Chains A and B, each alone.
Chain A
Amino acid sequence: MSDAAIETPRRAGWLTSVSDSLWRNPRLLIFLLLTPPALWLGIIYLGSLFALLAQSFFSIDEFSGVIVYEFTLKTYRELFTPANFDIIIRTVVMAAAVTLAAVIVSFPIAYYAARYARGKWKAVFYLGVMLPLWSSYLVKVYSWKLILAKEGILNWLFEALHLTWLLNAYLSIPVIGGNSLSVSWTGTFLVFLYVWLPFMVLPIQASLERIPASMLEASGDLGATPAQSFRHVLLPLSLPGVIAGSIFTFSLTLGDYIIPQIVGSSRRFIGQAVYAYQGTAGNIPLAAAFAVVPIVIMGVYLWIAKRNGAFDAL
């Protein structure tokens, strides 16, 4: 048989010859597809990250306010002064609390969506989880300020239920309380939890979706009560999703500077510190050092998660 009979006759346009040669050289295709995003990530993202890292090893001259371009760990030492260290601890505790609460709130929602919701209800679930992401972040935060304010809906509700004493008792608790919910850390916590919740629900739902129903049936079949099945099968298998979600909620909380400014007390979080130091204060090195903190914390967090086998089920 001649070669001509093997090939289907077709118009020999230049597009056809391009796709033919790409088909013959899959490596070339992958190279062409990956180069633009690799350049984007490499130059724009990693480049600025290194610039940031470099800045954090410079220092500021305390009298003139001019940046001294010499390698020093002085700026990092400054992070450990009581005032700055407080900011770090406060932010990390808040991020951890938000993440933990987000896991607890998200799991049942995600479980319902992955196991029981079908067809129309699945659409309702996605819409319900994603809808808040469609409106502006600022609008959401300010709405929460109205909800939590002294003249807000929540106060009104407590009043209507004759439970104002309960709210006041809660607000009188030191640290988490305050004059009203909108100027307390509880308020900050609630808004963080609300705003980041979709980022926790969706990864957990995706990981639960991948667990076949027979896996839980097998666990029950082998004598495990639902609680035991959760502990030994469901939780370990959904852990990659939980970790993925917690990376979002944890790092987003670590870096945010708007929510604590609008809802919360006057004491600062890392994001606000970065914002303040790089802006009016002009202390770029300290701002950079503060910005490195979340990166280091996330790195340590992922390393611990990996060591504990969180990604074994991937």
Chain B
Amino acid sequence: MTTAVRFTGVSRHFGSVRAVDGVDIEIAEGEFFAMLGPSGSGKTTCLRLIAGFEQPTAGEIAIFGEPAQGVPPYKRHVNTVFQDYALFPHLSVIDNVAYGLMIAGQPKAQRRRAAEEALEMVALPGYGTRKPSELSGGQRQRVALARALVNRPKVLLLDEPLGALDLKLREQMQEELKALQRKLGITFVFVTHDQGEALSMADRVAVFNEGRIVQVGQPQDIYYRPEVPFVADFVGSSNVFPPDLTERLTGKRAHAALRPEAVRLGAEGHGATVRGSSFIGTATKVALDMDGIPMIALLPKGAPVPEAGAQVRVSWADEDLHVMDPNA
């Protein structure tokens, strides 16, 4: 399989800030690749390095085998969907979508047809004559997508494209994006801080923290087998046990992760104090204190919810406790 994007020891420093610090990535052609991390973790800078808006301080970037060193954005076969969509306010929707084709010198009739088709693909047929200011946030997002895809890029970069949409629209767009990616077979590189979004859409996820990639893998691996405490905590807020406790429980000295939904409250197990609880719709989240270690348990609907201050016993199945590699 061809490598679409390859980072070899890439760093991008802004003064003394190491926004990206020695990152190695290999993104395969046709892959849906998510870069996940908190804000300031370097994921957006990595995306901008692929687009060409930033130049690496050190390391090498190759796009389809060709070194990207010194290649300006307008010479890269890569298109971006911007976080703020960056639609041109003075152009109509159709002219926005056809912008890349106009720059490429396509005749007017031809590029209008292509733009109209792209608008159909994102379910906005007939919206061509409107101005971006007359569209809703979700519609603008679709126009931005059509404007990028109409150029048939080799790699599509998406910078938190769903961040500004409300929950329902976001979920709908997640499915549509995924379906679109499968249909077109274009490599998608998707930046997000929403772990649910990354896990549900991507073929592979790279988790960023402080300018470095802390784990790359398939969503299931990231979710069930975190390699470092940060991933366990950030991706779905697992309970992280310190090495001492893990040693007492399993004999191995390393951090361990336990998913909140795997925690059971019952008659036996370790003693813990209930600190409080909150109803989150599908379940009830219970905050516990187990010998000074804070824990979260998710109780399914209908389960009795203990009151704050109550003494309870917590247990879990042995296979649910994921012991991390002590050297990671």
Contact = CB atoms under 8 A, between A and B. Distances in A.
B266 interface: no
A215 B88 contact: yes
B86 A220 contact: no
A221 B151 CA distance: 11
A217 B84 CA distance: 12
Interface string A163-202: 0000000000000000000000000000000000000000
Interface in A223-261: 223-225, 228, 232-233, 236-237
B74 interface: yes
Contact of A223 (B51, B84, B89, B151): B151
Interface string B120-136: 00000000000000000
Contacts of B84: 212, 214
Nearest to A218: B86
A222 B103 contact: yes
A313 B74 contact: no
A301 to B, nearest CB: 20
Contacts of B51: 217, 221
A239 to B, nearest CB: 8
A215 B151 contact: no
A233 to B, nearest CB: 6
Given A228-B103, A233-B88, A312-B90, A220 B82 contact: no
Contacts of A233: 88
B244 to A, nearest CB: 48
A215 B88 CA distance: 7
Given A214-B84, A217-B82, A223-B151, A237 B89 contact: yes
B108 to A, nearest CB: 14
Contacts, number: 64
A32 B73 CA distance: 54
A84 interface: no
Given A217-B53, A217-B86, A312-B90, A222 B72 contact: no
A237 B87 CA distance: 12
A233 B84 CA distance: 16
Contacts of B151: 222-223
A220 B73 contact: yes
Contacts of A218: 80, 82, 86-88
A223 B88 contact: no
B246 interface: no
A219 interface: yes
A13 B97 CA distance: 61
Contacts of B86: 212, 214-215, 217-218
B82 A222 contact: no
B79 interface: yes
Given A212-B84, A217-B53, A222 B100 contact: yes
Interface of A: 212, 214-215, 217-225, 228, 232-233, 236-237, 309, 312-313
A-B pairs, top 10 by smallest CB distance, nearest first, are A222-B100, A218-B86, A214-B86, A220-B73, A223-B103, A313-B90, A224-B103, A221-B80, A236-B90, A220-B74
Given A220-B52, A221-B53, A223-B100, 7 more contacts: A218-B80, A220-B53, A221-B78, A222-B100, A222-B151, A223-B74, A237-B88
